[in-house]
Each structure stands twice: as C-alpha cells, then as structure tokens.
C-alpha cells in the first residue's frame, strides 16, 4: 500500500505491542501493517490470543495496565502519527477522529448513570453545547441507531435495556463525535443471531450515511462475508493474509486461512467430519524464528522453519505471508 493514495485514512505500519512481564516478553502484536481507506470496512479475523484486540487497543492508545507497551511502529491517522501524541491530545482524538465499540455492552456502559447522561457526556465533550441542545442531540443520536421512543429511553438505566439495545446505545455514543474511523471489536458476539443481523445492518447503514471507515474485528467468517470489503487474517501477532473479501474467500492462499475457512461448519454440503487444524498456536513468549504456523502447517518445508516469509502478492491487492507463494 502506498501513502500517495490520499484516500487512506488510517495507515498502520510495523506495529509492535508487547507485554513486558517478569516471566518474559509476550509478543502479542508483532509487526502488524495495514491501511484503511475512507468509507471502507476492513475485517480483522483471527482466533483468541492472535493479537487482534490488542492491535485495536494500540490504535486507540488504550493499552491494558500491566506492562503492555507499543515499542515500534506508526499509526498514521490522516498522515499524522498518533503514537507520538500526548495523552491529553489523545483524549481529543478519541471519539472525534477514531472511536471504538467493545464486545460486551454491559461493561462499556456505566450502570449508575442513565444512558442519556452517558450520551450527553460524550456529545458535550465534543461540542460544549448547552443543556437543551445536548438533550435534543442525544435523542437524535438514539433515533439514528433505531431505538424506538428515544424520549423515554433516554431516562433509563442500562439494566433496563436488552443486550441488543445496549449495544445500540454504545454505538450511538461511539459515533456521536462523527469519527472518521470506527473500531468495532466483536460487537455482535454477545448478541443473539437475529439481533446480530439487525445490528450488522445498522452498522452498515450508519457507515454508508457517515462515510466513516470501520475496522471490524471478529472471529467469524460469516460476519466478514456479510460486512467487509477487505479482510486481514491474523495469526500469532502478525497478519498472514490480506485482500479483498471475495478474493480471499475464492482463493485463500495462506494455509492458515485455508484451514480456518475449511473448519467452519456449513449450512450446505456434507456433514461428514470437519477439517481440523492439529495442535495449538505457538506461545507468544517463545515464538519460532520462521513461519509461526509452520508447526501446524500440512505443507511446512525446511525454509518455513528457518525464516519468516515475506508478503507475496497473490492477486489484485491480495497478499499472503507464505513461502509456497514464491513458486508461483
């Protein structure tokens, strides 16, 4: 990806976030690069512990306490590296330029304040508007996320709402500052399937209305197929494959992506044994020098164990980090 392209709103380069623990260094995010264009939805897929959530928290500069530090890389938001900003400047950037929705709406909302209070706080931080205007804007914000009777709902506490409704409120707060980039970290994982579909449709509509770019973090290829324009697959702290969604589904090139797609139970075809990946991901404290998937890969060769493969181009804007791609 080149930065000559003015369309790029978020450009992440060689991001490394490690946990420095007494037991050793956990390389949770270890050289992640990707870019996000205006109005685009990029899916970041991977299994637990692959570093996808920590990547998101690194972008927000909201690393968990306890030794996590971003030690290398750049996060260019409109060409401006936000990793060099002060915490005070970051507070201004968060919510207005880059915003985030977390998996569990229960933990994102404060149980002792009404949702109106929480929405108004978010809007006030951005606009410093007067109370009456805040109230009107908060009601509008709820209406935009399809909450019926927002005038009544605004005085309610989070526990009076269902999970799907709470997640809508979280969405309303996240986009109240008109961010250019929204990071959605598994926003529908805690929701029921019919509510999940409602929420995905809502996010898509909001994205089309506002033109914001979304980094959609998920473990579910179905969500990727439904929501995303491009997809990046993460394994053990690195992106191993990245490309347009249709390309990656038609022509998955990294053996890990192939295995992931094959191991999902399908709604059509045979119900015989599912394809499985043997073994476990490597320990992030003791990563192999070569390809991190080599120990589980059915095609592993000698060079896979001795050196990490570079990103090979396998199609239009489609790359994969796998030595086998050299043969093409």
Site residues, other proteins (CB under 8 A): 47-48, 162, 164-165, 192-198, 201, 219-226, 245-246, 249, 259-260, 263-268, 271, 273-277, 280
Task: Select 110 or 162, whichever has its Cβ closest to other proteins.
Answer: 162
**CB-facing half-sphere around the CA of 131: CA atoms within 13 A:** 1
Task: Select 198 or 210, whichever has its Cβ closest to other proteins.
Answer: 198
CB 249, min distance to other proteins, A? 5
Task: Give dist(CA 30, CA 32) in Å, integer.
Answer: 6
CB 179, min distance to other proteins, A? 25
Cα dihedral 212, 217, 223, 229 in deg (nearest 10): 50
Task: Select 91 or 299, whichever has its Cβ closest to other proteins.
Answer: 299
Task: Give dist(CA 301, CA 324) in Å, integer.
Answer: 9
CB 253, min distance to other proteins, A? 16
Q: What is the DSSP string of 122-151?
A: HHHHHH---HHHHHHHHHHHHHHTT-SSHH
CB 47, min distance to other proteins, A? 4
Closest CA to 206 of 271, 253, 255, 141: 141
CB 164, min distance to other proteins, A? 6
Question: What are the CA-CA distances from residue 293 to residues 166, 181, 182, 232, 263 (Å)?
Answer: 38, 31, 30, 16, 16
Task: Select 162 or 326, whichever has its Cβ closest to other proteins.
Answer: 162
- Angle between helical axes of 131-144 and 115-127 (0-180°, round to 10): 110
Task: Select 82 or 223, whichever has its Cβ closest to other proteins.
Answer: 223
Which residues touch 255 (CB under 8 Å, ≥6 apart)?
293, 297, 298, 299, 322, 324
CB 192, min distance to other proteins, A? 4
């Amino acid at each position: 990806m080149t930065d000559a392209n003015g369309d790029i709103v978020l450009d992440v380069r060689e991001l490394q976030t490690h946990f420095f623990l007494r037991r050793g260094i956990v390389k949770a995010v270890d050289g992640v690069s990707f870019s996000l264009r205006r109005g685009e939805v990029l899916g970041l897929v991977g299994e637990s512990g692959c570093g996808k959530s920590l990547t998101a928290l690194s972008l927000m500069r909201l690393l968990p306490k306890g030794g996590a530090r971003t030690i290398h890389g750049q996060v260019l938001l409109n060409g401006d590296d936000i990793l060099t900003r002060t915490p005070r400047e970051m507070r201004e950037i968060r919510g207005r330029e880059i915003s985030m929705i977390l998996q569990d709406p229960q933990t994102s909302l404060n149980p002792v304040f009404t949702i109106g209070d929480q929405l108004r706080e978010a809007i006030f931080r951005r606009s410093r508007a007067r109370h009456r205007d805040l109230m009107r804007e908060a009601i509008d914000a709820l209406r935009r996320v399809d909450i019926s009777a927002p005038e009544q709902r605004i005085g309610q506490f989070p526990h009076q709402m269902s999970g799907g409704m709470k997640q809508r409120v979280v969405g309303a707060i996240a986009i109240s500052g008109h961010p250019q980039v929204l990071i959605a970290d598994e926003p529908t994982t805690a929701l029921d399937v019919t509510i999940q579909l409602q929420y995905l449709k809502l996010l898509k509509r909001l994205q089309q209305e506002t033109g914001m770019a979304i980094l959609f973090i998920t473990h579910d290829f179905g969500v990727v197929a439904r929501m995303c324009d491009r997809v990046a697959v993460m394994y053990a702290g690195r992106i191993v494959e990245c490309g347009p969604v249709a390309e990656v589904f038609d022509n998955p090139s990294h053996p890990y992506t192939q295995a992931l797609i094959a191991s999902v139970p399908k709604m059509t075809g045979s119900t015989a044994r599912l394809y499985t990946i043997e073994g476990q991901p490597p320990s992030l404290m003791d990563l192999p020098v070569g390809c991190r998937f080599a120990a589980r890969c059915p095609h592993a060769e000698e060079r896979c164990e001795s050196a990490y493969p570079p990103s090979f181009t396998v199609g239009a804007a489609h790359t994969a980090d796998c030595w086998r791609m050299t043969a093409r």
